[in-house]
Structure 1
Amino acid sequence: MTTPTIQYAIHRETERNKEMAAENTSKVFEAHPMKGGDGPNSYTKNSILQRASVDAAKELLNKAIAEKLDIESFLPSKSFRIADLGCSTGPNTFMAVGNILEAVESKYRSQGLNSQIPDFQVFFNDHASNDFNMLFQSLPQNRQYHAAGVPGSFYKQVLPNASINFAYSSTAIQWLSRVPTAVADSNSPAWNKGRIHYSNATDEVKRAYETQYSDDMESFLQARAQEIVYGGLIVLTFPGRHSDTPHSDALPNMVLQLLGASLMDLVRKGVVSEEKVDSFNIPVYSMSTKELAAAVERNGCFSIEMVADLLVPRVDDTSSMPQLIASHIRAGMEGILKQQFGEELLDELFNLYREKCEEHISTTNTGKPVNFLVVLRRKED
């Protein structure tokens, strides 16, 4: 028989979950999935840089699982559930999942639990408009796990309570849930006229993006707190900036500034209206680990187990870097650009953009890309 205190706690938890569900339902989540299919401009064909991040994370991922994953707390469960949040279309997600499975199996064996290695189930999550057909058509034939697709924004709960042992997200949480409302409002002090991003904008625009980031991470962590079992881990890798680096000097932001400059060139050529650019903003934020740590502390449901710089090697042939950047940005941004400006200007835009990347890389010090790996553990309430 449950005591009144336990009954009250269960009731309050149920009410809390209902309140969260209602809040998430009322929020607006913008969907900007990567370019689908397997054509020349697709994410599948243009995600080498993200793949390098997966490769660079493997050793740290192994270390995190070996040292921080308490598999005994999951016993005697016969299944181990993994969620890849922001999986896109592959093939990078399959490489990451393979690395996770290998490390978890190694952990079981190292503790003499060979006979208790569980069945693995992997939930591939992304927006409903993600090309899940492409994702599942390219699933590895020799995979050692059961696969399922889970559509929905990861800024809300997408999986059942206490159902996930290990959550992973690679180069995805830099995408905000939406463009901050104020930056597209011509009556707001944060109106971002003539620019498409916050990094070279006014302080009001930067604060609007910072506030949106803070709200989004609160939603992200609260959703994961519902989904992940006690003792479960989250591993996040993401491009960002060191806390002492100005937003305008962060390499991901500099790359987006060049895209904005290319759009303004098309305005001057009469190809696109200035009003179209004024009302267009990219919902991407380069966070620091200090900002993420503050969000984790506010949430209170996770401990930070590891923070590391992710040493992603640069491409040796720098002459190919401008084209590589242009093709990768197109694979990631084509959907949002097409929605705002139409499809007919994309080729001209990215030709201009590649030329600006060539000029930028050859004449200025762009600095090294900054990527982080952060490991969080679900605490008991």
Structure 2
Amino acid sequence: MEAKSQSLVPESYAINGGDGPYSYAQNSLYQRGIMEAAKGMINEEIAMKLDIQKLSLAASEPIRIADLGCSCGANTILAIQNILEALKRKFRTHPTPEFQVFFNDQVSNDFNSLFASLPVLGRQYYAASVPGSFHGRLFPTASLHFVYSSCALHWLSKVPKGVVDKTDPAWNEGRIHYTGAPKEVFEAYSDQFAKDIDSFLQARGKELAPGGLMALLIPAIPDVISHPQITTGSEPELLGSCLVDMEKMGIVSEAKVDTFNLPIYFTYPKELRQIIEGNGCFSIKRMEILNIPKQHIVMPEPRQRTLYLRALLEALIEKHFGNEIIDQLFEIY
């Protein structure tokens, strides 16, 4: 008999592609605000900290940029354009190199929509997709010169094992997130985040060339707010309560709700700094809280909030519960 090997492929959940009413492209104003708030800082750091001499580019070697967790839509195109303009200014007294941009996200990401939205005329970079998890290696050693990631690293590589184990103190019965949960659940999420960031940094430490830079825009909770204080009004907590209501109506089973948890963790700046410093692959050149324009934060209408959440989580929920409940779930929400 011929032996057959099995490989474990990580779960892949992309946010909604296309440009329809439930798409990320139509419901990512908040992420656009983060990108715009960080633009000036990124420009300054490229101007001051990118070491052209240390990069030691060969005569024909391009500058390679990677956008990790790029998703699809206008935001990522604008972010790359901003970075490219800053890099060109950096090289204004040197021969301008060619530029190559790698767009990375999960294998189920809508790369077709992303590449259809790339500028046809006047695009000053070569584009390629790199599907796969950024928690592991994606590129050859020392091949990248600038790494960028926005609103992606709060997504965990997996749900913490203990929260779906009835025998574990972190068993998260009747909830889908650590908001409103006992400290054991929160700690399980925090531990998983630390492992994931460590893996991310280890991989990028090998892939980034000497003299290169990395810019990470990561959703976080202020250091002054402790875990129990972040539960009130939480969107994951509210969504979980909607699923519990549907369980009581007999639409979904209790077991389905108890085994569904969001693989999302919002870190603290202090916690993130400790992880980066403990990892040792990178030194922090600048770390700040972004001042996001108010118009990108406020979503006064419940429908806006619902569309935003659906764009992010629909595929994840559908994978676990099936697509039959999606419309009703978000109507209840």
Shorter chain as normaliser: what TM range? Answer: over 0.9
Which residue does 2:74 correspond to in 1? Answer: 91
Compared with structure 1, are the counterparts of its residues 258 and 123 closer, same or farther at alpha carbon in structure 2 (3 Å cutoff)?
same
User: Greater shift after overlay, 290-299 or 185-194?
Assistant: 290-299
Which residue does 1:80 correspond to in 2? Answer: 63
* Structure 2 residue 116 is matched with structure 1 residue 133: no
User: Greater shift after overlay, 36-45 or 79-88?
Assistant: 36-45
Q: Which digits, 9 at most, give the CA deviation of each residue in 1:22-45, with x for residues without a partner?
A: xxx987633221112222111122
User: Of the candidates 307, 310, 328, which is equivalent to residue 327 of structure 1?
Assistant: 307
Supply the distance in 2 between the matched residues of 1:247 and 1:321 (Cα, whole angstroms): 27
Q: Which digits, 9 at most, give the CA deviation of each residue in 1:219-263, with x for residues without a partner?
A: 000000110011211101121112221234448981211111111
The structure in which a higher percent of residues are helix is 1
Aligned alpha-carbon RMSD (Å): 2.0
User: Of the candidates 119, 123, 128, which is equivalent to residue 98 of structure 2?
Assistant: 119
Which residue does 2:277 correspond to in 1? Answer: 297
Identity of paired residues, percent? 47
* Structure 2 residue 137 is matched with structure 1 residue 148: no
Compared with structure 1, are the counterparts of its residues 50 and 290 closer, same or farther at alpha carbon in structure 2 (3 Å cutoff)?
same
Supply the distance in 1 between the matched residues of 2:288 and 2:107 (Cα, whole angstroms): 32
Which residue does 1:63 correspond to in 2? Answer: 44
User: Greater shift after overlay, 153-162 or 140-149?
Assistant: 140-149
Greater relative contact order, per chain length (Cα 8 Å cut-off, separation 6+): 2
* Secondary structure of the corresponding residue to residue 200 of structure 1: coil
Which residue does 1:54 correspond to in 2? Answer: 35
Amino acid of the residue matched to residue 134 of structure 1? S
Supply the distance in 1 between the matched residues of 2:297 and 2:276 (Cα, whole angstroms): 39
Supply the distance in 2 between the matched residues of 1:180 and 1:169 (Cα, whole angstroms): 23
* Secondary structure of the corresponding residue to residue 148 of structure 1: strand
Amino acid of the residue matched to residue 53 of structure 2? E
Displacement of 1:320: 3.4
Amino acid of the residue matched to residue 86 of structure 2? A
Which residue does 2:238 correspond to in 1? Answer: 258
Equivalent residue pairs, number: 325
Structure 2 unaligned regions, length at least 5: 1-5
Which residue does 2:3 correspond to in 1? Answer: none
Which residue does 1:342 correspond to in 2? Answer: 322
Q: Which digits, 9 at most, give the CA deviation of each residue in 1:326-373, with x for residues without a partner?
A: 1111111001100111112111111221xxxxxxxxxxxxxxxxxxxx
Amino acid of the residue matched to residue 61 of structure 1? I
Compared with structure 1, are the counterparts of its residues 303 and 317 closer, same or farther at alpha carbon in structure 2 (3 Å cutoff)?
closer
Amino acid of the residue matched to residue 126 of structure 1? D
Which residue does 1:104 correspond to in 2? Answer: 87
Q: What are the within-5 Å matches in structure 2 for residues 192-207 of structure 1?
A: 192-207=172-187
Supply the distance in 1 between the matched residues of 2:32 and 2:9 (Cα, whole angstroms): 30
On the 8 A contact 1:240/1:250 being kept in 2, the answer is no
**What's the TM-score, normalizing by structure 2?**
0.92
Displacement of 1:92: 0.9
Structure 1 unaligned regions, length at least 5: 1-24, 354-381
User: Greater shift after overlay, 44-53 or 246-255?
Assistant: 246-255
* Structure 2 residue 27 is matched with structure 1 residue 42: no
* Secondary structure of the corresponding residue to residue 304 of structure 1: coil
Compared with structure 1, are the counterparts of its residues 253 and 181 closer, same or farther at alpha carbon in structure 2 (3 Å cutoff)?
farther
Supply the distance in 2 between the matched residues of 1:321 and 1:295 (Cα, whole angstroms): 37
Compared with structure 1, are the counterparts of its residues 321 and 161 closer, same or farther at alpha carbon in structure 2 (3 Å cutoff)?
farther
Amino acid of the residue matched to residue 243 of structure 1? D
Supply the distance in 1 between the matched residues of 2:221 and 2:99 (Cα, whole angstroms): 35
Compared with structure 1, are the counterparts of its residues 235 and 319 closer, same or farther at alpha carbon in structure 2 (3 Å cutoff)?
closer
Amino acid of the residue matched to residue 71 of structure 2? S
Displacement of 1:169: 0.3
User: Of the candidates 195, 207, 211, which is equivalent to residue 215 of structure 1?
Assistant: 195
* Secondary structure of the corresponding residue to residue 286 of structure 2: strand
Supply the distance in 2 between the matched residues of 1:26 and 1:248 (Cα, whole angstroms): 39
Supply the distance in 1 between the matched residues of 2:89 and 2:133 (Cα, whole angstroms): 32
User: Of the candidates 268, 276, 284, which is equivalent to residue 288 of structure 1?
Assistant: 268
Displacement of 1:55: 1.1
Compared with structure 1, are the counterparts of its residues 253 and 150 closer, same or farther at alpha carbon in structure 2 (3 Å cutoff)?
farther
**What's the TM-score, normalizing by structure 1?**
0.81
User: Of the candidates 240, 243, 252, which is equivalent to residue 272 of structure 1?
Assistant: 252
Which residue does 2:11 correspond to in 1? Answer: 30
Q: Which digits, 9 at most, give the CA deviation of each residue in 1:108-133, with x for residues without a partner?
A: 22xx22xx111000000011111111
Compared with structure 1, are the counterparts of its residues 207 and 183 closer, same or farther at alpha carbon in structure 2 (3 Å cutoff)?
same
* Secondary structure of the corresponding residue to residue 283 of structure 2: strand
